[in-house]
């Protein structure tokens, strides 16, 4: 039987000390790593480095609202825990609740989903949309960085060898917007990888102009796509059919899908057009989806703080 050297720290400090001394792979839920490193049936997965299991570090399993009103999620929180916790922003809960299969959601963590740095990852879309940051800890201290900067490109992170992702801090939620949109086109209706997912949010000013608009797309390029320049096209203005088309055209220039490009581009265009044109009519329901009969259209579950 092949041996894998494993560290199992019981506190975060212990984990950071190990990380500072040993070049090791942190493993939380294992739902990506155990698959990536598996060999054939009945064999121990093959890791070329030691593994540090951080699954049960209590410091990484908390969800709370900090003094600035931001939602803080421990990097070891599972998708199920996030999906079920109404402190977490709506977009993120939607993404967490539709990630993979139930068993996977019970083990996969938000820290792992970010660290996997896959353009098809479920949580980065909402995290980009809401300007979320990661907290990176080491024996030498802490620093914070936007998730969108931290994920440099496909499978590449701005992570130093002695650092661990310890928290995800989300400054915005659906409370900051008038209308919200999240739609995942999966490979199937459940237990699915994203073919494309679009997250959107909009807030209007008193005079009816757009105070804020955001859109992020998953599985449309080498990493999750979002562009403040594109959003600025419509911010400060009243929604018009021409402006919507300008946003669509500009966002089309941001995304770079390789597989099924026609589908991914057209679905993106249609979902942006749908959201902005419906939001412009100021409907009663806060949640806007791809069409009226769609089952999730309505009001989001109220946040508890």
Partner 1 sequence: MVAEDISKAVRRVDAVAKSNGTAKYVPDYDFGDCLWARMIRSSIPRGKILNINLPELPEGYTFVSYKDIPEGGKNYLHMIATDWKCFAEDEVRYVGETIGLLVGPDKTKLEDLLEQVKVDYEEMEAATTIDEGVACKGGAFVNDNNIHCHLKLEVGKPDEAFAKAAKIVEETIETGFQEHIYLETNGACCVPEKNGEYTVYASAQCPFYIRKSIAPLLNISPEKITVKQTTTGGAFGGKEHFPDVLCGPLLVAAHKTGKTVKMIFDREEDVEFSVKRHPSKVVFKTGLDENGNIVAMDSKVYYNVGGYLASSFVVLQRGCFHVTGCYEFPNFRTEGFGVATNTFPSCAFRGFGAPQTLFAIETHMCHLAEMQGLDPLEYKRRYFIKQGGITSTNGKIVERVMIPEMLDQVLKASDYERKIKEYGTGKGKGIGISFYNHGGAFTGNGEQAIIKGKCKLRKYKDGTVEILCGQTEMGQGFHTILPKIAAHVLEIPIEKVIFDDPNTSRVPDSGPTAASRSTMIVGELVERAATLMKPRYDKEEEFEVMTEYEHPEGYPWDQSTFQGYAYLGYGWGVCAVEVEVDPCTAEITTKGVWSSHDCGHLIDEKIVHGQVNGGILQGLGWGSTEVLENVKGHFKQTSISSYIVPTSMDFPKQGVYFVENPYEWGPFGAKGMGELVFNGSAAAYIDAVSRAIGKRICSIPCPTETVMNYMLNGKDIKEAL
Cβ 299 to partner 1 shortest distance, Å: 21
- Of 7-15, 53-61, 88-96, 181-189, the segment contacting partner 1 by CB under 8 A is 181-189
Residue 187 interacts with partner 1 (CB under 8 A): yes or no: yes
- Of 60-68, 88-96, 168-176, 291-299, the segment contacting partner 1 by CB under 8 A is 291-299
d(CA 150, CA 161): 14
Q: How many residues bind partner 1 (CB under 8 A)?
A: 32
Cβ 242 to partner 1 shortest distance, Å: 20
Cβ 188 to partner 1 shortest distance, Å: 5
Return the C-alpha torsion angle 299, 178, 305, 58, nearest 10: 90
Nearer to partner 1, 2 or 23 (CB): 2
Cβ 263 to partner 1 shortest distance, Å: 4
Nearer to partner 1, 214 or 264 (CB): 264
- Of 77-85, 121-129, 180-188, 202-210, the segment contacting partner 1 by CB under 8 A is 180-188
Query: Looking at 10, 44, 66, 140, which residue binds partner 1 (CB under 8 A)?
Result: 44
Residue 290 interacts with partner 1 (CB under 8 A): yes or no: yes
Residue 41 interacts with partner 1 (CB under 8 A): yes or no: yes
Nearer to partner 1, 16 or 278 (CB): 278
Residues numbered 224-283 forming contacts with partner 1, rule: CB under 8 A: 260, 262-264, 266-267, 270-271, 274
Query: Looking at 51, 132, 196, 215, which residue binds partner 1 (CB under 8 A)?
Result: 196
Kindly state the greatest CA–CA separation across the chain: 70
Cβ 266 to partner 1 shortest distance, Å: 6
- Residue pair 109/62 in contact by the 8 Å Cβ criterion: no
Q: Catalog residues that contact partner 1 under the rule CB under 8 A.
A: 1-2, 39-44, 183, 185, 187-193, 195-196, 260, 262-264, 266-267, 270-271, 274, 290-291, 293-294
């Amino acid at each position: 039987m092949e041996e894998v050297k494993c560290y199992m720290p019981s506190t975060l400090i212990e984990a950071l000390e190990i990380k500072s001394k040993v070049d090791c792979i942190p493993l939380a839920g294992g739902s990506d790593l155990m698959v990536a490193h598996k060999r054939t049936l009945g064999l121990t997965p093959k890791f070329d480095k030691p593994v540090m299991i951080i699954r049960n570090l209590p410091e990484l399993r908390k969800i709370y609202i900090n003094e600035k009103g931001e939602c803080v999620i421990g990097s070891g929180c599972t998708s199920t825990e996030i999906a079920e916790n109404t402190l977490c922003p709506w977009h993120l809960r939607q993404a967490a609740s539709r990630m993979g299969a139930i068993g996977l959601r019970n083990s996969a963590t938000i820290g792992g989903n970010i660290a996997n740095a896959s353009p098809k990852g479920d949580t980065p879309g909402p995290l980009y949309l809401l300007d979320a940051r990661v907290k990176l800890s080491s024996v030498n201290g802490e620093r914070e960085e936007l998730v969108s900067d931290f994920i440099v490109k496909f499978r590449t992170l701005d992570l130093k060898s002695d650092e661990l992702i310890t928290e995800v801090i989300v400054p915005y939620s659906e409370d900051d917007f008038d209308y919200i949109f999240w739609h995942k086109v999966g490979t199937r209706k459940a237990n699915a990888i994203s073919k494309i997912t679009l997250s959107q949010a909009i807030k209007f000013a008193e005079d009816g102009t757009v105070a804020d608009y955001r859109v992020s797309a998953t599985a449309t390029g080498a990493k999750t796509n979002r562009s403040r320049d594109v959003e600025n096209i419509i911010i400060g203005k009243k929604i018009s059919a021409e402006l919507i088309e300008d946003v669509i055209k500009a966002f089309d220039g941001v995304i770079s899908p390789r597989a099924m490009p026609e589908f991914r581009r057209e679905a993106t265009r249609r979902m942006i057009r749908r959201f902005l044109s419906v939001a412009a009519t100021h409907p009663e329901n806060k949640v806007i989806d791809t069409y009226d009969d769609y089952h999730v259209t309505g009001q989001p579950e109220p946040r508890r703080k």
